Amino acid sequence: MAASMVTLMPGSTPFSTEQIAPVAEAPDAAAAVAAANRQGTPVEVLAKRTQSRAVFANPGGTMTAQLTPVPVRVRKGASWAKIDTTLERRADGRIAPKASDGDLTLSPGGKTAPLVTMNRDGKTLALSWPGELPAPVVATNEVTYPDVLPGADLVIFAERNGFRQHLIVKNADAAKNQALHQIRMKIESDGLTVKADDSGALSVTDANGKELFSAPPSSMWDSAGKSTVFKVSVVDRALVMEPDEKFLADPALKFPVTIDPVLTTAYKQAWANVLSGYAGTSYWNTSGDGSKAQVGQCPRDLPPSGSWCNGIGEGWAYFQYDTGWLWDKKLKGATLSTTVTSSSGCADRIHDLYHTDGQIWNGMTWNTKLNGAHIRER
């Protein structure tokens, strides 16, 4: 039987058995590195956190950055909150997501308040519907203003960094309404410049030329998947939308028809889809399936003629990240993490990864898509 004894000399400090609780984050890089080395697990550097970036100090002195192509968190006062597009009514009566980038608010109805407002860097952009808005119906992340025009509902979807606006034309009689053929939405802005290019893409910049908000070319489609783009311009401080009259008059059209402008905060990081079946349509921070990126080909043997995939044909997905802050860093490696959520077949499929020849943009389509160098397949 063995025994041991520790003798403490006068003035010496006893050994402590108290364990220091591990931490998940630290205010700066020096504190995070010290904590990571002490506890043997990564520690986030709060000073480097943004809407779409988290940086972790690793034991041993290296750093790992996790980047996303869209905002995943937003500033709420002095802290950060996970983005939550669930809508709620604010004290002033306006409707807003619980936490979103761009501080979107929506009208409670009536004819005085703007339909939508967005804020960024202390600047406000507001768009007003040309007429009185009915009382809205709110459900999760969407607000419906019924019959804003005879036979047409206006639906606003709150997104993580902006909104999608769907004007839903329910029947052929509603499509004949002249008010539908040119819609003027008043623009109010705080020192911002709103411009539309020849494709109908919008750019909203501040006095220094920094782009705060953007929108891809607007499109419209029927319930059978037939689609087209339409003209959008900025005239006399108004956003003018001119849905395609020939498209609306097509006797083969399947109603309802959806008319779809989008506006989001603008960053270098973004994602996009291009689909061969909709070769002239851009999908900026969205896809033909909404929030999920689409890649690969629809099996041609699915009856009838591949319509099971809604005519998408072949899909390419693009992801772009802001890496400018890494210019003076030594990189040890990079990993792209994705998850397959659904497939037209149950068998494993190979996905190819490429590095594109340039930056993606909000008007990119299948017809103007970027190519690039093959990196690997999996």
pLDDT tens for residues 147-198? 999 999 999 999 999 999 999 999 999 999 999 999 999 999 988 999 999 9
**Rounded distance, CA 40 to CA 34, Å?**
10
| 58-80 pLDDT tens trace | 999 999 999 999 999 999 888 99
Q: Are 226 and 248 in contact (CB under 8 A)?
A: no
| DSSP at 178 | G
Out of 105-109, 234-238, 240-244, 309-313, least confident range: 309-313
**β 219-222/257-260 pair status:** antiparallel
Instruction: Return phi, psi of residue 107, to 5°.
Output: -65, 145
Cα–Cα distance, 365 to 348 (Å, whole number): 28
Average pLDDT of the segment spanning 250-272: 93
CA–CA separation, 313 and 305 (whole Å):
10
Model confidence at 301, pLDDT cuts 50, 70, 90, reads: low
What average pLDDT does the segment 229-247 reach? 94
- Cα-Cα-Cα-Cα torsion 234, 238, 239, 243, nearest 10 degrees, comes to -100
Indicate if the pLDDT at residue 17 is higher than 80: no
Query: What proportion of the chain, given as a percentage, has pLDDT over 90?
Result: 72
Helix or strand or coil: residue 308? helix
**How many angstroms separate the Cα of 194 from the Cα of each of 78, 126, 167, 333, 374?**
31, 11, 22, 40, 38
What letter would DSSP give residue 2? -
- Single-letter amino acid code for the residue at 113: A
Residue 338 tokens read as 């994705």
What Cα–Cα distance (Å) separates residue 172 from each residue in 168, 181, 207, 219, 241?
Answer: 12, 13, 44, 18, 19
Strands of 175-333, DSSP E: 183-189, 193-196, 202-205, 211-215, 219-222, 227-229, 231-234, 238-242, 257-260, 262-265, 270-275, 283-284, 296-297, 314-320
Of 29, 11, 14, 27, whose CA–CA distance to 325 is shortest? 29
Q: Which residues pair with 56 in a beta bridge?
A: 44, 64
Which band of pLDDT confidence, cut at 50, 70 and 90, is reported for residue 242? Answer: very high
Average predicted confidence (pLDDT) for the chain: 89
For 4, 323, the CA distances from 1, given in Å and listed in that order, are 10, 62
